[in-house]
Amino acid sequence: MEGSTGSGSQDGQIASPRRAPSQQRSRERVERMLAAASALIAEQGSDAMRMGEVAERAGVSIGSLYQFFPDKRAIVWALAERYAAESQACISAALAEVSDAEELRRAFSELVDIYYGLFLAEPVMRDIWSGTQADKALRELELADSRANAEFLTAVLKRLRPAVDPVELETMAFLVWQMGEAAMRLAISVGREEGDRLVAAYKRMALRELVGD
């Protein structure tokens, strides 16, 4: 059925796109498809989105849509991968030049604020993120994203605290990022005032662990 979120896999894995676009015209068509899906998710959520709606809004045939995305879970996966890549690029750039504890404090705090702001402003990101709890493959993507982001933080910690066991630093960085994911999910699920307090509390706790008082 068109409305099903199943991909035909028995292990919860999201179906991959049938083929990657190689020509400029095909890439532009895929961008229209993803933009259409993003708009529909923002309006009604991914559960209610239908492949026919995506094709109609993108101005392509349903057959053309299925050439690149075998089902709507593949579309959600593509959007999730895109958001993950964008967040990793942002975090990598923000932490690349950190050379002391005060710079780490400032950069980390700014990143948390940016991340929180994006999720408040972007309903598609919220929809995808909330869906990770019920979808094994999306949970694995989120975990891989946290590990990648933790590596950027680990690199900074190794520069600032060379005497500390690197495994301990890696564990700390990974835990900080995972706690951040949980804190953000909680913050966007409650009222804005309470959410702001939760994010501020997370920053204080994480920074005490990372750089001390």
Residue 99 tokens, joined: 């050379």
The C-alpha R_g of the chain, in whole angstroms, comes to 19
Tell me, what's the pLDDT at 46? 86
Tell me, what's the pLDDT at 145? 87
Tell me the residue type at 70.
P
CA-to-CA separations, 79 to 70, 75, 126, in angstroms, rounded: 14, 6, 12
Does the pLDDT value for residue 24 go beyond 50? yes
What's the CA dihedral at 177, 81, 85, 179 to 10 degrees? -10
Number of H-type helices and E-type strands within the chain: 9, 0
Tell me, what's the pLDDT at 18? 53
Tell me, what's the pLDDT at 129? 73
pLDDT in tens, 153-189: 999 999 999 999 999 999 999 999 999 988 988 998 8
Tell me, what's the pLDDT at 16? 47
